[in-house]
Amino acid sequence: MKVFGVDPRDQRWECDTPTYRVHFHAGTTSDEYEVRGADDVHEVIRWAGSDPAGRPYVLYVRVDQDGLGLVRLAGSDPNENRRTRRRGSGR
C-alpha cells in the first residue's frame, strides 16, 4: 500500500448519501441487497457482519455515472477467487 497527499480541489463531485450494495455468498449462490439511508459505511458493515448465517460478503458503493457501476469497498467474491485459481492452474 502506498499513501500520497492530494489536492482536494481536483475532485469534480462528491456524494454525501451514497447507496451501498451488499452481496452475501453461500457456496456458488449469492443474495444481493441495496442499502440506502445509512449513516455511514460503518453502519452497513455492522449490518452485513450481523448476518445470522455468518455468510461472507462483499460491500460495494453504487455509482451512477455513465450507467450503474459498483466500487468494491470490502470483501471478495469467493467464487471469483476459485475461477482465478482454476485459470492460473492451467485446468
pLDDT of residue 91: 37
Q: What is the pLDDT of residue 65?
A: 86
For 78-91, how does the pLDDT look when each residue is reduced to its tens digit (9 = 90+)?
A: 877 654 444 444 43
Q: Which amino acid is at 45?
A: I
7 phi and psi angles, rounded to 5 deg:
-100, 110
pLDDT of residue 81: 60
Joined grid coordinates for residue 72: 468494491
| Residue 29, phi then psi, degrees to nearest 5 | -110, 165
Q: How far is CA 10 from the centre of its chain?
A: 25
Asked if residues 31 and 21 have their Cβ atoms less than 8 Å apart, the reply is no
CB 41 within 8 A of CB 73: yes
25-43 pLDDT per residue, tens: 998 899 999 999 999 999 9
Q: Which pLDDT tens digit goes with each residue over 41-76?
A: 999 999 999 999 999 999 999 999 889 999 999 998
AA letter at 16 = D
Write down the pLDDT at residue 89.
40
